[in-house]
Structure 1
Amino acid sequence: MFCKWCLRELVHMLKCRRNRGQKIVPIFYKVKPSQVRYLKGRLRDAFIARNESVDGIDFKEWEDALEEVSKLEAFESEEIDNGHEGTLVEMIFREVMLHLKRLYQLNVSKQLVGIDDRVEQIMRLIDGVFNRTRIIGIYGMGGIGKTTLAKVLYNRLSSNFQCRSFVANIRETSQRKGIYYVQNQLISALIENFGGVANVDEGIGLINL
């Protein structure tokens, strides 16, 4: 029930969390955090048995690590959708994507004034529904921050989608390089190992899929 190497890895992960700020998302699968924190029942018996075969220093580190991880924000399998594992996996995926989204976020200045209200207005239109198509138009005269607003919305929403693409300067790019170049930008972000389209009609066909 307790693996020596797994416990040592847990100790190391928690050290990385404290020293480097790394994120840990515990998953308590068919066990409650309190059982890990206070080592009750079979868990305690297994832990004591393991302690007999290793030195006491390891035991104290492991005990502290289990207590620490049991206090972190976590997923409890039995508390999610009556133990339905599919829902648990989906929630874990969303949580991981949320923390990884900084890897693909667009560069936006942090010194933005008055944009929060605009973002919230659009978020209310979206209404948190991501299972059907939404088209939102942002219009206005040049230089008022339309592209910046679009970038902020992209960063806010991107973690909800497995595939995503942000194509900027469409009009200028299509005038210089052709609309099929813009199509390639869009499709290559959505399709792995995409070889590119040769013409506009081919691009339209792929996008319609």
Structure 2
Amino acid sequence: MSQHRKIYLASKSPRRRELLRQVGIDFEVLLLRDAPPRGPEVTEIVLPGELPEAYVARVTQEKAQAAWDAVLARRLFTLPVLAADTTVVIAQEILGKPANRDEAISMLSKLAGNTHQVLTSIAIKYQHQLLQCTQKSEVTFAPLSDSQIAAYCDSAEPYDKAGGYGIQGMAARFISHINGSYSGIMGLPLYETTDLLARLDPH
């Protein structure tokens, strides 16, 4: 990583920015399209029969490739591109970001009193190289009352996060146990990220 003093982060997530700063990785945010007129550069639709680990890996790889293509198309200085995608899974059901309060309540109701998986896939694209890995953690929620779920869903916190919660926010009080990577649950597993960057060929 020493020969790559900076990377592009292909993500709007403030949590991923915070995590990169935590470990001293210099970065510039590279935003992709997510709205008209030309539509998104990557869609996050689950393909028929697609398993959660295959889904999160595919979407991340597509994000990394789209970001690298954007670097070339915009004639930006070439730096490694880091992309990531986080998915919450319970009983093989993928829980994305809730579109509204009803969806958020439904998701939290499924998570309450149960253990679910958080899959975060990361991919680094640079020149001919694409390095990727997927980190898996388990999170156990304590049982929650309807009023606890409703109060949480009245806040702004659930609506930009997979599964409708953020471990680093108010939902921390619901979580009785985790097994895996705290930073991975937040959206960017730092050990795996720094390891991939260290393995990247600078040429």
Q: TM-score range by the shorter chain?
A: under 0.3
Task: Name the TM-score, length of structure 1 as normaliser.
Answer: 0.24
Q: Which has the higher strand share?
A: 2
Higher relative contact order (CA 8 A, sep 6+): 2
Which of these two proteins has the greater Rg computed from alpha carbons? 1
